[in-house]
Chain A
Amino acid sequence: MNKFIVTAFSALFAFAGAAFAQGGPNDAQIAGIVVTANTVDIDAGKLAEKKSNNKEVKAFAKQMVTDHTGVNKQATALVKKLKVKPEDSDTAKSLKKGGDENLKKLKGLKGKDFDKAYIDNEVTYHQAVIDALDKTLIPSAQNAELKETLVKVRPAFVAHLEHAKQIQQSMK
């Protein structure tokens, strides 16, 4: 099942790369992708905060909600300032779909199975977002401030990835 999620996310971002291979997403689409990516992780975090019985997993989930909410607020404020309206795109749609599938799967799990599935997905998700930032979003961003924001937000995803990996190791 975990393999399934990994494959789903990898396929998703491979698709995103292919879809934008010609011109890359525009700034409005990038804004939409950023907001969707954060929202997907906030929703998973909220579920894990409620469902997990593991103290470490709960704390991590809570932090994901806090941090990604903060990033989304910053992104929304920037978008307003730049007078860009976040646009939907195939990548954003696929992200949303992947997030919904993950939630559905997680809702059917309990205890350690839930914790493992949630954390495994967090590792995959954050790695996928970092790849998307490096390969598609940062290189495609036209507005300097939007590009700078993406660059500044990247270390947060790296920190989350490392944190998730540590929890993943400790659960083995």
Chain B
Amino acid sequence: MSWATHIQARRCARALRRPAAVLLAGALVFGWGTGLFAAPAAKSHTVTIEGVQFSPATLEVNAGDTVVWNNKDPFPHNVTAENKAFHSPDFAGGRSWTYKAKTKGVFPYVCTLHPNMKGTLTVK
């Protein structure tokens, strides 16, 4: 690097330093803010339906998380909360149903086509 370019580089660095500091502070505050006030990143959970069973049968998620029920049986199932808080249509084998869990609570659910198929979704 020549002397001239070195000077130029230092000037450049000096000019950049201030806004960079502001940006850095901003990023810190922003990061701190999101950590404190925003919900943790929403997760996606999977419940497998196979052999006329929900697996896992009990699942605990945070409000805002997504739950996907994957039907691996060769015939339709549905996912119906006993208090009707959520209710999927019948979905065929090889299909899935996705529910964004917004309401907090403990929700026992069944497949109304196979009333002995039971599961519980807990939304915290």
Smallest Cβ-Cβ distance to B114: which chain A residue: A159
Chain B 43-91 interface residues, beta-carbon cutoff 8 Å to A: 50-53, 73-76
Q: In which size bucket is the chain B interface?
A: 10 to 19
Take A156-B52, A159-B52 as given contacts and tell me if A166 and B74 are in contact as well, using a CB distance cutoff of 8 Å.
no
Do B113 and A166 touch across chains, with their CB atoms under 8 A apart? no
Q: Would you call A102 an interface residue if the criterion is a C-beta within 8 Å of the partner chain's C-beta atoms?
A: no
In the bound complex, residues from chain A placing their C-beta under 8 Å from that of B114 are 63, 159, 163
Do B116 and A162 touch across chains, with their CB atoms under 8 A apart? yes
Do A159 and B117 touch across chains, with their CB atoms under 8 A apart? yes
Chain B proximity of A101: nearest CB distance (Å)? 27
Chain A proximity of B89: nearest CB distance (Å)? 14
Bound state CA distance, A150 and B75, in angstroms? 15
Q: Would you call A67 an interface residue if the criterion is a C-beta within 8 Å of the partner chain's C-beta atoms?
A: yes
Do A158 and B52 touch across chains, with their CB atoms under 8 A apart? yes
Partner of B74, one of A73, A155, A158, A162: A73
Chain B interface residues (CB < 8 Å from chain A): 50-53, 73-76, 92-93, 113-117
